[in-house]
Amino acid sequence: MAELRDIPHDHDDDRYQVWTGYIAEDASHPNDLIHVVIPDYDPDQTHGPCTFSPRPSWNGGAGGPPLLPNYKDPCIVAFDQDGNAQLVDWWTEDGT
């Protein structure tokens, strides 16, 4: 198996960086695909579609509906080896 350091890459290639951004639209279901915006890259461009991991609802207790990403929730985005945006993590505006 090749080590990551052995894979040819260009350090100046933006595709291989990790970015902070925000969610571009509300998710209505845990299986939705969503888009993200990376303002430091291009504030007018969306990237995706991306899968996401719903968060457990602490307010609803056991069996409560999961928290889903909403428009403007902060996130971390990375690009895979094929240039596809991957939503690494997201959180709500209040930090949950």
Q: Which domains does the chain have, with CATH numbers?
A: 18-90 (2.40.50)
91 or 59: which leads in pLDDT: 91
Instruction: Return the pLDDT at 58.
Output: 67
Q: Which residues of 28-47 are buried (b: 16+ CB within 10 A; e: fewer)?
A: eeeebebbbbbeeeeeeebb
Please list, in sequence order, all residues whose beta carbon lies within 8 angstroms of the beta carbon of residue 11, skipping any fewer than 6 positions away: none
The reply to whether the predicted model has a pTM over 0.85 is: no
Q: What is the pLDDT of residues 40-62, one digit of tens each?
A: 989 999 999 999 999 887 665 56
